[in-house]
Amino acid sequence: MRTILVCIAVLATACQADASATTAAPTAMAVNATMISVVDGDTIDVAIGGHRERVRLIGIDTPETKKPNTPVQCYGPEATKYTKSLLPEGTQLHLERDVVARDDFGRMLAYVYTAGDGSFVNMTIIRQGYARPLTIPPNATHAGEFVDAAQAAQREHIGLWARCSG
């Protein structure tokens, strides 16, 4: 009987450790960029080593607001405003690259995190219904997660999923 109680105690402790690991708060990350400005919902300007760099957030696509010869799309202004709320000027960032470093327009491609708390900006934008997933292989590290987050937002009818058709 004592052996059974010890086993139960060990299992309970292990389950508590697993539960706390999955609910732990994000952690601080090394700073490698500083926020300058938001261009649109999925493109930002940052300072890296004293140089201005345009960064396209990998894996997400927000409705257009500034694309030449393209009208402002449904929920585009809201997406831009939301990204601005997440990334005020001066925010310390941690950028992570994937396989391909730049897009055809010369923009740096990155997964963006706020350095102070480790919040994953790309994921937050898509999870809150401000973007659709956009996977351009080989930059697909978080593709499945982004699809899952977008499907959840769509099921919950939040953001563009509630306001825009098509």
Angle (CA) 39-101-88 rounded to 5° is 30
Residue 152, both tokens: 């959840």
Judge whether 53 counts as a catalytic residue.
no
* DSSP-H helix ranges across 24-105: 76-86
Q: Residues 6 or more apart from 27 whose CB is under 8 A from it?
A: 117, 118
Q: One of 56, 78, 127, 132 is an active-site residue; which one? A: 56
Question: What stretch of H or E contains 92?
Answer: strand 92-96
Q: Which of 2, 54, 64, 97 is catalytic?
A: 64
Catalytic residue among 78, 107, 127, 132: 107
**Is 64 in the active site?**
yes
Q: Which amino acids are annotated catalytic?
A: 56, 64, 107
